[in-house]
Amino acid sequence: MHLLVRYKVFDFTKWKSGYDADLSARQKAGLKEIYLFRNADDPNEVTLLFSVEDVHKARAFVESDDLHHAMEKAGVMGAAEVSFLNYTPATDRDARTGGRVQRAVEPLSRDLFESHAEAVGAKLRESIVRR
């Protein structure tokens, strides 16, 4: 499971300092930061993605007064958008490979390579002659 959080801050540098200071509280809640994004058009809009070890601990942390006070102190503007997410594979291939893209590449034999190169060369010569 994952947790996606988005909010605006008054000053990113001040917010980041407060956010970093709260690492142990996130760890106790079973949250591990995967990504921290800043909006390309508004660098004071922050989006965070966490992996969640224990959804009950994570929900309690997200709803806690301590977190809300820490966010307010760090300069978070308004309420955060919070979503708990379950991973859903986009395709059957993703389900089989855990989301990793796998490609099977077979080396071309020299004969196959040369015959392919000959065919491509012949088509190129043909198109040049037609012009």
End-to-end Cα distance, the chain: 61
pLDDT tens sequence for the chain (131 residues):
999 999 999 999 999 999 999 999 999 999 999 999 999 999 999 999 999 999 999 999 999 999 999 999 999 999 999 999 998 877 765 555 555 554 444 444 555 556 655 665 666 666 565 54
The sign of the CA dihedral 53, 55, 60, 66 is positive
Query: Tokens at residue 24, please?
Result: 């142990």
Regarding beta strands 45-52 and 2-9, do their DSSP bridges make them parallel or antiparallel, or are they unpaired?
A: antiparallel
The sign of the CA dihedral 90, 85, 33, 56 is negative
99 phi, psi to nearest 5 deg: 90, -10
> 130 to each of 91, 118, 122, 124, how far by Cα in Å?
45, 19, 12, 10
Longest distance between any two alpha carbons in the chain, whole Å: 79
